[in-house]
Every structure is written in structure tokens, then in C-alpha cells.
Amino acid sequence: MGLDLGKLMRFSGLWMVLWIACIGSPLWAQDAPDCEATLAVWQVQGAGERAQCYRKRVTIRGVVTIIAANKSRFFLQSPTAESDGLSETSDGILVQTTPIRPLAELAVGDLVEVRGRVNEFYGLTQLEIAGSNSIETLDRRRELPAAIDLAQVSLEWPAGANHPLERYEGMRVHLRDRRVVAPTNYFDEFGVSITGSPAYREMGIEVDDRPDLAGQGWPQWDLNAELLEVDPPELGRPVLQLPVGVPVNVTGAIAYSYLDYQIWPDVVEFDGSAISAYHGRPVRPREAGEFTIATQNVNNLFDTVDDADREDGREEDYVPDDEAAYRLRLQKTVHQVHEILGAPDIVALQEVENAAVLFDLVLLLQESNPNLKYYPCLLEGLERRGIDNAFLLRVDRVKNPECFRLPGSYEATYLGPRDLFTRPPLVLEAELWDGQRGQPITLINVHLRSLSDADAQRVMTKRLEQAIMIAEYVQERQTTQPEVLLAVLGDFNAFQFSDGLVDVVGIIAGTQDAKEAQMAPVRDLVEPDLLNQAGLLDPAERYSYVWNGNRQLLDHILTSSQLSALVTDRALGRGNADVPRVWLTEDHGAALAASDHDGMVIYLRLGEG
């Protein structure tokens, strides 16, 4: 991780280079270290992202600061007196046995010399050793270097510079008096924020993921340098299933895994009472004369039947293990619809396996309240798991419904024979009924291509063509029926702004700016524009999903100008995105963890007849 003088000249100019040459500088700033000598940790870490002596065998001297529970790995740090004292270089490093084996007679506080091979494991610098024979203990019970207080570090990240936490890689750190800002995920990590504020997805391409696109004019997102994942199992500590809001103190070492900076903790202190006290938050009750329309991704709502030609057997982790588990998932969804979303007049659902599951849900909803009767609508798509879009319509509030797939979507292809929509948009034409008259409304329920591999050309093409086909249908309806009350709603798998690749929501709404995405239609397809109701929420409320610790808005309700004029309010229910993912299969209260997405509701009043 040596200093690149060419880069130094570009950033600091010739005068800086001459200044260094005249007054002298530490060895690390001028030359690569002698890899045959015994080195301090900072000499190996250097000032760049890649280690010095890369893939060479070296001997490093330092103090053992943290040891994994199985003693197969530990963190080593230069004693305070032997640090170079420079902020650009890290004093810590991970030491990893390969193959994995326990290290005998190793203790925190040992001053040791370790001989091994320098490597970068997906960006994390580590010293790979064979075992205890690679370690010589020089002294014991040394005082540990003071932990870096992360609340005091700078998060400034100039263009072209290293991530601001790179300089602390491998070093002891602590973060105190913070609250969990992202719940424990499928990888047993929970999120904390150095600043204490939650981290939100912002416009642009992920700068770490596509550095080749830097400087080409597309908007870029820095992944929120203040966000850290805490990953206890990396050092053999117990998994902690924590919802958002739990107070924590964390002490550990800075690590890096799959483009994310993390704390691998030695100690996590938390308030357990805050876990049991967590509860969901329903949307407000409707007022007299209001109608409500909702969207809810129900996250793989499957039965236990193994259907032919579908990937829905019990070996799949999203299929319930038994009937009891299936009933629990149904019951959670009932409470989500009934309690959290307030029994909307129309609910657009995504990720329902089949009509039988939807009918089971309708029956349970009626059992929960005999007056709550829904009419179901689901049409099978082409998705290999079998998940489909569906509608629930209150029979007392919605009349004359007609459900059909978006015309042409079932047969549409892209890049040759590939299906454009494995989950074809489901169109509903119906009337909202106030007891005296009906108001026609058209809803388009979407579940678009996911963000997995979003920067791959084939995926960008699919997302673009999906958005164009929906936008063209919206425009056709607005042109032929300008008075129509129309909404596009569902899981767009896209943000309220451009991701720098394809602005899916902007294309469908008619608000896209071609300068903000690599792929875009040659012209604006929708006029007048649709209004994204989620964009009118309080900024702190603009998230329906949490990924890699970042809050993001994937679920939207886009309304035509005629419908927008009738909307009185909008809200997101809470109790899904903010809770640990394992709660999806556990009973932590009826209205918690029905899905990994929070649902959204809009309120409207019909105009004068």
C-alpha cells in the first residue's frame, strides 16, 4: 500500500514533491520497505488501498489486540510508541491462519513477531500464516493501543482519495452511545452510524462498485462513509438479532468485506429491553369519506406444496417447513393488511405464489373480521419460483373489477428469446364505491427486475425496456382517456431518483433526465407527468427497504394528475424493514416481520359527482 509519487504530483503539485525532497520524509513515503527486514504494521499497510510487500513473506512486529473465539485469526497492532504517527497509514492488520487452525498459547496483550504472506482478501489486508510456529512471543501483558473513537474521525472523502476508514483498517476502535440504524440482516450483520444518523441511498452509481465510470459525468454515490456494519460472527462472537433503535456500544477492529467497511467486534453492549419493546407503527386510520389504496411486497408468500416445474420445494429457504410455518406467514400478512395498512380498499401485492395462497389469505382476513371481505385477483406469470402480482379488493368498497395482464407483457421479449417480464404487470380496472356512486380507477401493479447485477448490460437493457413498455401504456391511457384516475404502484426495484444506470421510476413517471443515467429513452414518454407520492413523504420516512445498512425506497405509488388532485395523504407502515430478517419465520408479535418491505398507503377523496 505504498505512496504513488505520480498521484502525489497530480494532487499536490510539483512544489510538494520538491518540499519532500528538500526536508526529507519517513521511509514509507519515499520507498517500499525492505520486505526481508522485521517491519512495523504501518510499513506493510502503507498509505494506499493495497498493501506493501504484496504476496511476499514478511515478519511483522506488534501487539495482539483481539483474538477470534476459535483462535484461528487475530488482530495485530503496532505499539503506540512504534507507530509512525501519520494519519494516512494504518497501525493494525488481520492475521489469518491458512488452513484454519487454532493458535496455541496466544493471548491479548502479547508482543509478537509474526512471519507470513501479505495478501488482500477482497480488499481486506491480511497476513496469512501456517500456525503457531509462525509466531514468536517477545513479551506478555503489554498495554493495548488506545481504541480510536470513531465519533471523532473525519469522514471527508475527496474525489480520488481512499475511503476515510481505510486508514484505520485492522485497528482497535470503539463507537459509543449509538443506536442501531439497520437491523440484523441475512448475513448476521447490523448497521451503526458514526454520526448517529441513519444512512439513506442517494442518487448515482455506487462509486466502489464501478470505479471505471468515475469522471464520466454520471452521478455517483459514495455509499455513505458514516455507515458501518457490525459483524460479530467474524470473530466467533454470538449473533445479535437487533431491530432498529436499540442502543449499543461497540469495541472491535475495522475490517472490510464485500465493498463494506465493518467492525468485527470484541465486545457489544446493548439494551436488551429495547428489543422486546420494539413494535410496529400502523398508518393512521382513514377519515370519513376517504378511500385508501396500498402496495405491499409480501416476500415470498408460499405454501408447502411442491409444484411441478417450479423452484418451490422445501429445500428452498423461502418455502415454509411445514403447515404451522405457513399459517404463521399467512397470519403475519393478515395483520399487516388489517392492522398496519388499515384494511385498505385496494391492496396491490407482490410475491404471492399462486391463487390458492391468495385465497387462504382472503379467508383468514375474513376470520379476523367477518365484515372484512376481499375479492382476490391473481394471474400466473413466468417467474421460475412462481411469485406473482395480485390484488385484494374490498367487496363493500370496490365494484365492477376487471383484472388483466398489461397488454403484450406476457409475450414480450428482449435481447432475443429472453422474457421481458417474468412477473407481468397486473392491471386493475374498477370503481371505488361510496355507497351512492362509483368512480372509475385504473391501477397497474408492478414488480420489476431486481437490482442484482444492475450494472450488467443485459440487466440494464431489461430494466430499460420494462420501464418503456409500462410508460407507453400509461401514455396511451392518458391520451385516449384523459380523465382517467390512474396509478402505477408496487415494488419497482428502483429508487425515487436515478441509480446512474437506468432511471426506471423517472421513465415511467415522465420525469427522467437523460443526463442522469447511462441508458434512457430518446424522448420523454409520459405527459403529463405522474407524481410519485412517496416523494412527498417526510425525507426521514423515504424508505421501504434496507440493504447493506442503507435505507432505500423501492416501493412507490405514481399517480396521474387527475388522481393526484384527489390524494389527501400518504404514509408508510412500519414493522418490516426495521427488524431482523430471521424474525420473518418467528413470532415476535402479530404485526411484526410480515415481509422485508414496508407497505405504502395513499388516501383520497372522490370529487364532486
Q: What would the 3-class secondary structure string for 58-96 be?
A: EEEEEEEEEECCCCCEEEEECCHHHCCCCCCCCCEEEEE
pLDDT one-digit tens code per residue, 379-400? 999 999 999 999 999 999 999 9
Average pLDDT over residues 293-308: 95
Closest CA to 252 of 270, 232, 271: 232
Q: Average pLDDT, stretch 303-317?
A: 87
Q: How far apart are CA 376 and CA 403, in angstroms?
A: 10
Q: What percent of the chain has pLDDT over 70?
A: 94
- Kindly state whether residues 452 and 538 are assigned to the same domain: yes
Distance CA(77)–CA(144), nearest Å, equals 9
Residue 420 has pLDDT above 60, yes or no: yes
CATH number at residue 10: 2.40.50.200
**Do residues 534 and 500 both lie within one domain?**
yes
260 three-class SS: strand
Q: Nearest 5°: phi and psi at 506?
A: -65, -35
Among the residue ranges 164-173, 448-457, 582-591, the one predicted with the least confidence is 582-591
Residues 192-224 pLDDT 10s:
999 999 999 999 998 877 777 777 888 999 889
What is the predicted pLDDT for the residue at 31? 61
- Asked if 484 and 542 sit in the same domain, the reply is yes
pLDDT at 314: 80
What is residue 24's predicted lDDT score, i.e. its pLDDT? 35
Average pLDDT of the segment spanning 93-104:
94
- Residues 336, 240 within the same domain: no
Tell me, yes or no, whether 307 and 242 share the same domain. no
pLDDT category, 415, cuts 50, 70, 90?
A: very high
Say how far apart CA 594 and CA 301 lie, in whole Å.
9
Residue that is last in its domain, among 251, 276, 301: 276
Domain ranges, residue 75: 5-139
Euclidean distance between CA atoms 102 and 104, whole angstroms: 6
The pLDDT assigned to 559 comes to 98
Is the CB of residue 481 less than 8 Å from the CB of residue 510? no
CATH of residue 593: 3.60.10.10
Answer yes or no: do 527 and 426 share one domain: yes
The pLDDT of residue 33 is above 90: yes
Q: What is the pLDDT of residue 15?
A: 29
Same-domain pairing of 286 and 394: yes
Please state the domain count of the chain: 3
Average pLDDT value over all residues in the chain: 92
- Cα atoms in the Cβ-side hemisphere of radius 13 Å centred on 584: 23
For 211, the 3-state DSSP assignment is: helix
pLDDT band at 461 (very low <50, low <70, confident <90, very high): very high
- Let me know whether 51 and 152 are in one domain: no
Residues 354 and 453 in one domain: yes
- Of 121, 139, 157, the one marking the end of a domain is 139
For residues 89 and 47, the answer to whether their CB atoms sit within 8 Å is yes
Are residues 502 and 356 both part of a single domain? yes
Residues 481, 361 within the same domain: yes
